[in-house]
């Protein structure tokens, strides 16, 4: 038997099947596209790459927020976790960084007792360097105040210190961190700040007078004295610094740039302004650095200022500039230039096409620019 095939019918069926297949594929593509659209419009989170480098350091977060990762900075982080104990009481140097101009220290104090304990210490200093070292310290570190260890504030507390050093004197030298901590069993209640520090100072001329004063007042009895001696190794690194103070005089004021250091971790500037009419000169005044072509450099520096008195009782304004993170390579000569913050803000508000760098550049007082030449070590 022969079976004959209708060619035209077969062609029609084939055409129909093709159309159905195309329609089905189009439906699938449409569904996938809409699913992607829904996903993209929804809350799809960007997950950071697991290989992105991060600092495995608590100290870095105390120094500054959101410091960009840098191998040079990471290499400076030392984590000795060096514990010094007497009985149930201990002080641990958790981490430190020595960048040639600063020693940053993260240390903890702890008691194994469940009783109320008070703590204080003398100044953090370096063996052989007996003078006061400028920096940032806990109020229980040499200020004559007490810190509480109890159920409310915890039996372990962590403190941060920043000790600033002159790079031309100590920049590449090994150091030994030294201080003494005292622990007391608390016998009497004392008035505390919100952070758990005493509101009263318990020392006379020297922090070493504190233990005797605490016991004589009946506040507590000393139960431990812990001595810290930690060698700090200097690392090989380039330091940029101001070799000598720069003084500049203008018609209404005088300005001195007293400190300017750049390390792999930090930029720090200090300047002092004297004037007969301080308020008139310094109202809304801030500073920025530029190169010779008036391009802003060190853009990320944050500035602060405070009114102070010198040793002769004369008032002046002290400016502080800080930045934490790697900084750009600088030209040999840069300029510190003042500007009025209100004028810069007004220019930004009036012109949407002007960014903050352009605004500051336009309102800067170039006739008051101070030339700065830095040295390297």
For 293-329, write each residue's pLDDT tens digit: 999 999 999 999 999 999 999 999 999 999 999 887 8
What's residue 85's pLDDT?
Answer: 98
What's residue 170's pLDDT?
Answer: 59
71 and 169 in a single domain? The answer is yes
What is the spatial distance between Cα 167 and Cα 260, in angstroms, rounded to a whole number? 10
Tokens 């508000």 found at:
349
86 and 228 in a single domain? The answer is yes
Nearest Cα neighbor of 157 from 115, 191, 196 is: 196
The enclosing domain of 307 has a CATH number of 2.60.40
Domain containing 304: what range?
240-376
The top-scoring range by mean pLDDT among 16-25, 29-38, 235-244 is 235-244
When mean pLDDT is compared across 37-46, 104-113, 250-259, 305-314, the lowest value belongs to: 37-46
Q: Which of 178, 203, 232 is the last residue of a domain?
A: 232
More confident residue, 45 or 130: 130
The enclosing domain of 119 has a CATH number of 2.60.40.1630
- pLDDT exceeds cutoff 60 at 251: yes
- pLDDT exceeds cutoff 80 at 168: no
What's residue 9's pLDDT?
Answer: 38
Q: Tell me, yes or no, whether 244 lies in a domain.
A: yes
When mean pLDDT is compared across 39-48, 124-133, 189-198, 335-344, the lowest value belongs to: 39-48
- pLDDT exceeds cutoff 70 at 172: no
- pLDDT exceeds cutoff 70 at 46: no
Q: Which of 232, 258, 283 is the last residue of a domain?
A: 232
Which DSSP state fits 209?
Answer: G
- pLDDT exceeds cutoff 60 at 48: no
128: left (phi > 0), else alpha (psi -120 to 50), else beta? left
Say how many domains are in the chain.
Answer: 2
When mean pLDDT is compared across 49-58, 222-231, 311-320, the lowest value belongs to: 49-58
What is the spatial distance between Cα 167 and Cα 372, in angstroms, rounded to a whole number? 17
Q: Tell me, yes or no, whether 36 lies in a domain.
A: no
What's residue 137's pLDDT?
Answer: 93
What's residue 171's pLDDT?
Answer: 53
Q: Tell me, yes or no, whether 154 lies in a domain.
A: yes
- pLDDT exceeds cutoff 50 at 369: yes
Q: Tell me, yes or no, whether 40 lies in a domain.
A: no
103 and 141 in a single domain? The answer is yes
Q: Which of 211, 232, 253 is the last residue of a domain?
A: 232
What is the spatial distance between Cα 277 and Cα 274, in angstroms, rounded to a whole number? 9
What's residue 14's pLDDT?
Answer: 43
What's residue 212's pLDDT?
Answer: 96
Q: Tell me, yes or no, whether 26 lies in a domain.
A: no
What is the spatial distance between Cα 110 and Cα 88, in angstroms, rounded to a whole number? 8
261 and 196 in a single domain? The answer is no
Contact assessment for residue 152 and residue 114, using Cβ atoms and an 8 Å cutoff? no
164 and 311 in a single domain? The answer is no
163 and 257 in a single domain? The answer is no
- pLDDT exceeds cutoff 50 at 339: yes
Contact assessment for residue 139 and residue 145, using Cβ atoms and an 8 Å cutoff? yes
What's residue 35's pLDDT?
Answer: 40
What's residue 169's pLDDT?
Answer: 63
The top-scoring range by mean pLDDT among 8-12, 90-94, 139-143 is 90-94
When mean pLDDT is compared across 30-34, 173-177, 264-268, 365-369, the lowest value belongs to: 30-34
92 and 129 in a single domain? The answer is yes
Q: Tell me, yes or no, whether 42 lies in a domain.
A: no
Q: Tell me, yes or no, whether 51 lies in a domain.
A: no
278 and 194 in a single domain? The answer is no
What's residue 31's pLDDT?
Answer: 47
Q: Tell me, yes or no, whether 23 lies in a domain.
A: no
246 and 212 in a single domain? The answer is no
- pLDDT exceeds cutoff 60 at 1: no
Q: What residues contact residue 362 under an 8 Å CB cut-off, 6+ apart?
A: 347, 354
């Amino acid at each position: 038997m022969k079976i004959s095939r209708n060619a035209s019918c077969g062609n029609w069926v084939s055409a129909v099947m093709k159309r159905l297949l195309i329609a089905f594929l189009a439906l699938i593509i449409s569904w996938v596209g809409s699913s992607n659209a829904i996903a993209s419009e929804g809350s799809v989170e960007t997950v950071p790459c697991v290989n992105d480098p991060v600092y495995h350091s608590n100290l870095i977060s105390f120094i500054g927020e959101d410091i960009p990762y840098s191998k040079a900075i990471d290499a400076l982080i030392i984590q000795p976790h060096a514990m010094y104990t007497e009985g149930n009481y201990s002080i641990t140097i958790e981490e430190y960084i020595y960048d040639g101009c600063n020693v940053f220290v993260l240390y903890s104090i702890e008691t194994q007792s469940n009783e109320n304990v008070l703590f204080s210490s003398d100044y953090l200093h370096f063996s052989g360097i007996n003078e006061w070292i400028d920096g940032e310290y806990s109020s229980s570190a040499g200020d004559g105040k007490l810190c509480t260890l109890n159920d409310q504030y915890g039996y372990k507390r962590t403190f941060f210190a920043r000790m600033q050093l002159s790079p031309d004197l100590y920049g590449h030298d090994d150091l030994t961190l030294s201080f003494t901590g005292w622990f007391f069993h608390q016998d009497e209640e004392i008035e505390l700040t919100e952070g758990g520090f005493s509101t009263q100072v318990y020392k006379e001329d020297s922090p070493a007078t504190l233990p005797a004063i605490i016991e004589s007042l009946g506040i507590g009895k000393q139960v431990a004295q812990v001595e810290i001696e930690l060698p700090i190794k200097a690392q090989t690194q380039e330091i940029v610094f101001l070799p000598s103070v720069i003084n500049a005089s203008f018609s209404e004021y005088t300005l001195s740039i007293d400190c300017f250091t750049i390390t792999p971790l930090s930029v720090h500037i200090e300047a002092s302004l004297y004037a007969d009419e301080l308020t008139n000169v310094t109202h809304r005044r801030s500073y920025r650095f530029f190169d010779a072509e008036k391009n802003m450099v060190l853009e990320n520096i944050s500035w602060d200022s405070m009114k102070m008195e010198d040793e002769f009782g004369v008032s002046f304004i002290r400016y502080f500039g800080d930045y934490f993170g790697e900084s750009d390579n600088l030209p040999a000569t840069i300029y510190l230039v003042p500007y009025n913050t209100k004028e810069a803000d007004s220019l930004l508000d009036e012109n949407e096409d002007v960014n903050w760098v352009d605004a500051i550049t336009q309102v800067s007082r170039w006739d008051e620019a101070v030339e700065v030449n830095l040295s390297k070590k």
